[in-house]
Amino acid sequence: MPESSLPGGFVNTVVRVGDTVRRPASARTKFVSDLLKLLESRGWSGAPRYLGTDGEGREVLSYLDGHVAWEAPQPAAVSSDESLAAVARLVREFHDLTAGTPLAGDQEVVCHNDLSPKNTVYQPCRGELRPTAFIDWDLAAPGARVHDIAHVCWQYLGLGPAVTDVEEAGRRMRLIVDCYELPDRHRLVATILWWQDRCRRGIEAQADAGDAAMARLRDAGAARQVQAALQWVSEHRDALERSVR
């Protein structure tokens, strides 16, 4: 069957073949396949199905039809309060399904570790786009609930210099943690800063080590953008922490 490239993939080449998605296998394939099989066995529809590998050794996943918010600008419904609340509830659902399983190990849950609008499938619901599933699970690993929620706050709210209303950003952070019902929200802002620092350092280190994809990211200014976001969150840390207490 003919292959068509899917947009948004900066690190991996991902193609669609019929009703399937093909992507390069990696050292994470076994863990991710076990995770997706677990979510399928629990009847959760918020992730693609793992269908095995093809003749070229690529992972084969089910294709999730819908709108993926991989570029700006986006329809207002993507960033609406209703969509943010739905994202938080979706994260809570798969966290709860993985809690206490062998895949979570000695951690609270299995985290996606790359939640963002670019990895979210939106579908029409009563006339408005709403998040229904997450894609790109290749960074999933055992972790703490707050790790994914911090990443959600950073990425879905675009926390950084482009934010002009700190109070409104804090209100929307509070909406996310309330809808998720996050217990240890006192760690939230510190974890956002941890993510941003880790991301910048990771891009720089892997680019220096010769990783071509990370080198392209760095050349495109990604590390500088993340550093600017970290600086912004640091400057507004007190206000953001007050907003989620």
- Per-residue pLDDT tens digits for 56-105: 999 999 999 999 998 888 999 999 999 999 999 999 999 999 999 999 99
With CA atoms as reference, report the closest residue to 33 among 7, 16, 53.
53
Residue 125: its H or E element: strand 120-125
Output DSSP code: residue 149: H
89 and 145, same domain (yes or no)? yes
Say if strands 109-111 and 50-53 run parallel, antiparallel, or are unpaired.
unpaired
Q: How far apart are CA 129 and CA 122, in angstroms?
A: 6
57 and 7, same domain (yes or no)? yes
Q: How far apart are CA 137 and CA 113, in angstroms?
A: 8
Q: How far apart are CA 227 and CA 243, in angstroms?
A: 23
Question: How many C-beta atoms surround the C-beta of residue 105 within 10 A?
Answer: 11
Q: Structural domain tally of the chain?
A: 2
Tens-digit pLDDT profile for residues 154-188: 999 999 999 999 999 999 999 999 999 999 899 99
193 and 215, same domain (yes or no)? yes
Tens-digit pLDDT profile for residues 194-243: 999 999 999 999 999 999 999 999 999 999 999 999 999 999 999 999 99
**Distance from chain centroid for Cα 182:** 17
The terminus-to-terminus CA distance of the chain in angstroms comes to 53
27 and 71, same domain (yes or no)? no
Q: Which domain holds residue 92?
A: 67-243
The CATH number given to whatever domain includes residue 101 is 3.90.1200
Within 13 Å and on the Cβ side, how many CA atoms surround 43?
0
